[in-house]
Amino acid sequence: MLDRIVEDLALRFYPAIADGRRITLNGKVVPLFADPPMTDVVEAEVTLSDGRSARVRAGILKQPSKLNRVHVSYEHRVIMPASTVGTGEYSGLAKMFGRLQLMGKNWHLARYKDDLPDEAERAELDDAVLEILRPILKKCQSATMHQRINQVAQLINDMVPPEIAAARPKPQNERRDRPMPKPKPKLSGIVELDKSTPEGPARTRRPPYDRLLITFDGENARHGVGEFQPGRPHRHGLGRHESAAEEGQEGQHER
């Protein structure tokens, strides 16, 4: 219980503790409550009418935090925690955090110092701070809208029958972790004749080699003549040549 009270005091009296003031509760020092981690941080000071001014520091939360929206402070304490001052019509305020410190003595506060009831002062402050916060407000709203669209799409997808439900894309990290298949080696497309078998067809067309096939037909020793037959492959027969055989018969008759 005591820790909860100390935390509330740290949140409420942040300006005083940050300014070096010392607050204790039952002998326990109230610590400075650190701001949550943020990105896209903007800082500026605005000058308003009637001697009023304000200093603002805000950014996009790196992770969800109970400290969000705009915390407005005046003098030594936070008077409007988690307010919408300077945020206009933007949504996604839970994704940002900012501190707005009011300066000057001419601010009109509510009775319990927890609001800015003067409409003119509030409107002037809203417009000035909005110009500073607009870049981060746009990003917060865009991220929120994208999240809501995904949630609605998931809800609709869960309601429809599986056969007409939209396919859910696989997570990107799962795709990255999956090992890539090894590429298959490319074939050269040329069949080496000394490694091929005559029984099966070649997988690719054989290139036209200029070859010479010599046959004997068992007659070369008897006649010693041959003939050339062009083709694929070229054929040079060393067997019996009919014209030579006929000439040999005619020569025997003449004798």
The structural architecture, per CATH, of the domain 35-147 is 2-Layer Sandwich (3.30)
| Amino acid at the residue 244 | A
User: What is this structure's pTM?
Assistant: 0.61
Closest CA to 14 of 97, 125, 119: 97
**Tens digit of each residue's pLDDT, the chain (255 residues):** 888 999 999 999 999 999 999 999 998 999 998 999 999 999 999 999 999 999 999 999 999 999 999 999 999 999 999 999 999 999 999 999 999 999 999 999 999 999 999 999 999 999 999 999 999 999 999 999 988 888 887 887 778 777 776 665 555 555 555 666 777 766 555 555 565 555 555 555 555 555 555 665 655 555 555 665 666 666 666 555 444 445 445 445 444
Domain ranges of the chain: 35-147, 209-254
Q: What is the pLDDT of residue 58?
A: 98
Of residues 83, 59, 92, 67, the one with CA closest to residue 8: 67
Neighbours of 95 (CB within 10 A): 23
How many residues belong to the chain?
Answer: 255
How far is 220 from 240, CA to CA, in rounded Å? 7
Nearest one of 46, 48, 109 to 75, comparing CA atoms: 109
**Cβ-contact 140, 69 below 8 angstroms:** no
pLDDT at 245: 46
